[in-house]
A and B are shown apart, each in its own frame.
Chain A
Amino acid sequence: MDQSPINAQIEFRTVTKLYGQIAAVRDMSLTVERGEFLTILGPSGSGKTTVLMLLAGFVAPSRGDILISGKSVAAVPAYRRDQGIVFQSYALFPHLTVRRNLEFPLEMRGMKVAERAQRVGLILERVHLQDFGDRFPSQLSGGQQQRVALARALIADPPILLLDEPLGALDRNLREEMQGEIKSLHKEFGKTTVCVTHDQEEALTLSDRIVVMRAGQIEQTDTPETLYDRPATQFVANFLGEANILENLDYVVESDSAQPTGTVPMIRPERLGIANTATPKSADGDRRQYVAGIVDDMIYAGPLRKYHVRVGGGVLVVREHVASGQQIFKPGDKVRLDWLRSDLRFVTA
């Protein structure tokens, strides 16, 4: 184990996994670089869990190959691989104490008792659970269980860390705290990390790169910012955040860009401005498009206010940050929407 590098490169070569006639994953090729934090994002049934199971070695690919640091592992069972996994709802052994849970991977690697105890002590301290070593998992809160699961996955210093919906079982506040914890652990340990989730916020905050999956195939792979700002497809645009699709409307969408990548114009709700019809146009008015509409609904959401505005045969969603001096519109009010033409994106359907 001492010889094993701190992280590894992962490569999927046209991997297909069939269950009967159905392909859970089809012709997937992907490379995860050393030390990278890659998130696989997709709705349920998109094949993302199968990707993780393939990577973990719990299922073998039907076709194609999986390589870890250049060596094929398609035929290597899970228990001969060197990896740490944080399972959905943690899979902590209920019959073992926290300490014994943490010792388990070390014991399986044949480590001496004294060294095991030392490592357990260190990692417990690292995840701030030094007083909880003798508790059973059921005696811990959700956040503490999550930290034990992370510690257990990292304690044997595997080059690869796999996270399966790591924060799914936590409530909102705790989730934010744990996101920070995962991020700092990633930075500190530098493991190649693959995380599977359906939570877009989790994906956006944690990852170096995100893979969006749909029906067993990769829809788009990019950094979080590119993915959100320049989605390639309507599916990605809708799955990651909210999107106004400007299609089949009564007005012409004016476009600046000479060569739009896709055909369907799309704009994010926060890029839209909303104003009283009487408000004078702004200085950069010639770079903007203006349309008139009627407020359908107003949703107050703390820092944000969301308007649904009926415009030319469709409804656009406008997201506005709450600020003082703002005019608040009611359903039925006539309003004028505007956006910078450069904020428009063209996606494929």
Chain B
Amino acid sequence: MQTLQKQRLTGIGLALPVLIVLVVVFGIPLVQLFLTSLNAPMFSVSNYLRFLQDPANVRVVLQTVQISVIATAACLIVGYPTAYLIVAAPKRLRIVLIVLVMIPYLTSGLARTYAWIMILGDSGLINNLLLQFGIISSPLLLIYNRMALYVGMVHIMLPMMVLSLVSVMLGIDKSLMAAARSMGAPPFTAFCRVFFPLSIPGVRSATLLVFVICLGFYIIPASLGGLGDVMLSNFLASQVTTTFDLVSVATGSFVLLAIAIVVLSILGLDLSGTQGLAAQVPRRSRFARPSLIGWLTRSLTEFSTGFRAKRWTAHRYRPRGEGWLPEIGGKVLVLLVLTYLLAPSVVVIVMSFSSGSYIEFPPSGLSLRWYRSFFGNTAWYGAAWTSMEIGLAVALLSTIVGTLAAYGLSRTSPRLRSTLNVVILTPITIPVIVVGVACYFGLANLGLIGSRTGVILAQSIGAISYVVVIVSATLANFDRRLEQAAQSMRAGPLQTFARVTLPLIRPGIIGGAFLAFIHSFDEVVITSLVSGFSVTTLPLKMWENIRNAIDPTLAAVASLLTVLPMLWLIGMCVVWQRSESKAQFPIPSAAN
């Protein structure tokens, strides 16, 4: 009993650094903001009433919800069949498809947004081509409207939706479909009666996740949407940077937060009631990301391992042959989706080699002048260098404290663990602008606005969540008896961790560090609020460029940012494959 209690105390102790950072940078200011919005110490809801009495505010709130609903629905409608087809594909093809969806997921959102500006703009790809072929005489208005906004939002969110759904669908035992078929169910009936119901919980959490992230969209509405397509984030950001009306910022943030929380809990609860899983679902919806990221590790492991017994049952009774029409239709759909996801980046990469003094497609000549311009301009490469440094610092900080927390949490009681998990994951489950606003005030309390330390702390808030999620997922698959075995051989707690636990969860830690770096390297919203114009990261520099003058150098930067995650991905696969083949390569002849 003593040892157990001691263990639990150590567990909480290990999670302490994370909790302190979270509370100081994010928790306390969030409470302060809430109190401000309630006019503390008088406590009244007058601010909320005033906020909601202004028709302009109400319009922004409703519009935010409406845009998010439509974008989420579009993601779901396109994403579900795509995910289904990816899962149904033969293994090698499936891995290729998953990687192709993962590349845009890991590519800088700014680079992708920029790509759409290049495609839809007045002198963009589509208008240029149409003009060239004489189909139109003056440019069409393709950008700065609601349609462009949806195209951009769905483009950003679709990979997350598809990957989440693939993760869920891979967990569904395919032999169940075969069983249904053996009992006389035609393929479509088998799908409706067996596969679809089993996928519902995953669909719900993926949808909620996408919806809540959509609520916090800031860059796309500001760069692709029209003047009227303002979302709450834009409204709040402009309040922070221009008028700085504290009360109205606080009130607006909590209206947005309230929408997110209401949707997360009520929708989750309501649907769960019909399934009799009432107690678990709100938690599960918050843990939608674990499934996504945990899956990331899993699929990479699967990628590198030739044969896995646990997948065997799922494949043994795989039904085949669904008819030629669905098959061709499916191929066309997947092709279209992949084109939609990948073509913009390809366009940007091609354009970045343009030799003209402005960006055009197809480029009239090839040159490296924009890359030269990038590496020759201190403002650009300085920003890139700053981002790199900040990214590494964020990755280091969040990997260390996040791994400690995940390890500590894994030894506390399940109930405490899930509560603390919800707390730690808050920064990535609520709209990012709210996190940004809270961090702004948190760092202001500490006098760190406009400092690198401040930016690093603010970005670590989200990065820590990713590390905790992915390391926890790895620890969940880790066999505790290996630690007991080490201890039975006289390895003390530290030796056990260093010699057994750490080497075995290393892939998860590397993955977490990688995601933390990417998170930092692509962060705009929080950084723009806390940087105070004195710290210029690459995303901030890009964002400034997108908004003001479009410098063709941006094309070179965007291409570099597109190629970077591909290199990362390849590098990680190589590392994983090497460690896997060393430890897990099965030799059939040994099974005598």
Contact = CB atoms under 8 A, between A and B. Distances in A.
A78 B582 contact: no
B488 A84 contact: yes
Contact of B486 (A59, A62, A104, A139): A104
A79 B485 contact: no
A152 B486 CA distance: 11
A239 interface: no
Nearest to B586: A138
A87 interface: yes
Contact of A87 (B481, B496, B591): B481
Interface string B475-489: 000010110111111
Contact of B490 (A60, A87, A109): A109
Contacts of B560: none
B585 A139 contact: yes
Contact of A93 (B4, B482, B492): B482
Nearest to A136: B583
A140 B490 contact: no
Nearest to A95: B503
Contact of B2 (A58, A60, A95, A105): A60
Interface in B454-502: 479, 481-482, 484-493, 495-496, 499-500
A94 B504 contact: yes
Contacts of A109: 490
Given A77-B3, A79-B496, A93 B491 contact: no
B139 to A, nearest CB: 60
A136 B490 contact: no
Which of A56, A104, A156 has the most C-beta atoms of chain B within 10 angstroms of its own C-beta?
Answer: A104
Interface in A37-91: 56-60, 62, 75, 77-85, 87-89, 91
A138 B488 contact: no
Contact of A136 (B489, B503, B582): B582
B62 to A, nearest CB: 51
Contacts of A59: 3-4
Nearest to A109: B490
Contacts of A9: none
B429 to A, nearest CB: 32
Contact of A144 (B1, B481, B491, B590): B590
B592 interface: yes
A141 interface: yes
Interface residues of B, number: 32
A135 B490 CA distance: 24
Contacts of A62: 1
B584 interface: yes
Contacts of B592: 141
Interface in A240-298: none
Given A88-B481, A140-B590, A93 B488 contact: no
B587 interface: yes
A5 B562 CA distance: 66
B482 A91 contact: yes
B584 A104 contact: no
Contacts of A95: 503-504, 583
A108 interface: yes
Given A62-B1, A77-B3, A93 B484 contact: no
Nearest to B504: A95
B582 to A, nearest CB: 7
A79 B491 contact: yes
Nearest to B579: A95
B583 to A, nearest CB: 5
A296 B4 CA distance: 54
Contact of B590 (A57, A79, A92, A139): A139
A139 B490 CA distance: 26
B576 to A, nearest CB: 13
B481 A138 contact: no
Nearest to B491: A108
A162 B491 CA distance: 17
A141 B487 contact: no
Contacts of A156: 489-490
A75 B485 CA distance: 19
Contact of B488 (A56, A75, A139): A56
Nearest to B481: A91
Nearest to A89: B481
A76 to B, nearest CB: 10
Contacts of B587: 135, 139
A138 B583 contact: yes
B575 to A, nearest CB: 14
A91 B504 contact: no
A326 B279 CA distance: 64
Nearest to B483: A91
A78 B490 CA distance: 7
Given A78-B484, A87-B484, A139-B590, A108 B583 contact: no
B304 to A, nearest CB: 14
A187 B591 CA distance: 29
Interface in A1-42: 18
Nearest to B490: A108
Interface string A103-135: 011001100000000000000000000000001
A144 B2 CA distance: 38
Contact of B487 (A79, A138, A139): A79
B583 A56 contact: no
Contact of A139 (B482, B495, B586): B586
Interface in B550-585: 582-585
Given A59-B3, A79-B496, A93-B485, A138 B491 contact: no
B583 A91 contact: no
A94 B484 contact: no
Contacts of B496: 79
B487 A93 contact: no
Contacts of A78: 484, 487-488
Contacts of B503: 95
B208 to A, nearest CB: 35
Contacts of A140: 590
B490 A80 contact: yes
A156 B486 CA distance: 13
A138 B585 contact: yes
Contacts of B591: 141
Which of A59, A80, A136, A156 has the most C-beta atoms of chain B within 10 angstroms of its own C-beta?
Answer: A136
A255 to B, nearest CB: 49
A275 to B, nearest CB: 47
B585 A85 contact: no
Contacts of A88: 481
Interface in B521-573: none
Given A59-B4, A94-B504, A79 B584 contact: no
Contacts of B490: 79-82, 105, 108-109, 156
Contacts of B488: 56, 78-79, 81, 83-85, 162
A104 B592 CA distance: 27
Contact of A94 (B2, B493, B583): B583
Contacts of A85: 484-485, 488
B492 A79 contact: yes
Given A91-B481, A108-B495, 11 more contacts: A58-B487, A60-B1, A79-B496, A83-B488, A91-B485, A95-B583, A135-B587, A138-B583, A138-B584, A141-B592, A152-B489
Interface of B: 1-4, 479, 481-482, 484-493, 495-496, 499-500, 503-504, 582-587, 590-592
23 contacts: A75-B2, A79-B496, A80-B490, A81-B490, A83-B488, A84-B489, A85-B484, A85-B488, A87-B484, A88-B481, A89-B481, A92-B485, A93-B485, A95-B583, A104-B486, A104-B491, A108-B490, A135-B590, A138-B585, A138-B586, A139-B586, A144-B590, A152-B489
Interface of A: 18, 56-60, 62, 75, 77-85, 87-89, 91-95, 104-105, 108-109, 135-136, 138-141, 144, 152, 156, 162
Shortest 6 CB-CB contacts between residues of A and residues of B? A105-B489, A91-B485, A108-B490, A91-B481, A85-B488, A78-B487
